[in-house]
Structure 1
Amino acid sequence: MEAVTGTIKSYSRKTGKGLIALDGDDEPVHVDRTGSAGIWLKKGLRVQFVRIHCPQGVYAFHIKLI
């Protein structure tokens, strides 16, 4: 699995869900509390992650701050 980078576009601590804008791609990636591995996410943070494909869409997993 190839790691990609992006920026947190939106994230709700209340729901634990949000979106990541990929570098060089218009299609956002979903993020949820389980994929963040306990990292406190907020809008504007730069992250590196692996994309996984689920029936609900593309999700970020193994997220790391960069």
Structure 2
Amino acid sequence: MTHLPATAYGLVLSLRPLLGAEAAAEAPGCGAEPGDLEQAVWLRLLERLHTDGPPADPPDWLRRAVRAEAR
């Protein structure tokens, strides 16, 4: 059972593989653990869904969010 609306849950499921790949690629360059980057980006996404709704281009938003967290 999930507490997220169906569309948010689907968004999370669809972005999971991309987030894992992006976090794994960015982590070595910034000295962070991939899981820490993933957790920070999931939090950003949930905050955004609450305030602004889903991003217009979720994969692009996710890539930019991972890079921002890696800085």
Normalised by the shorter chain, which TM-score bucket? under 0.3
Structure having the higher helix fraction is 2
Higher relative contact order at CA 8 Å, sep ≥6: structure 1 or structure 2? 2
TM-score by length of 1: 0.27
TM-score, scaled to structure 2:
0.26
- Structure with greater strand share of residues: 1
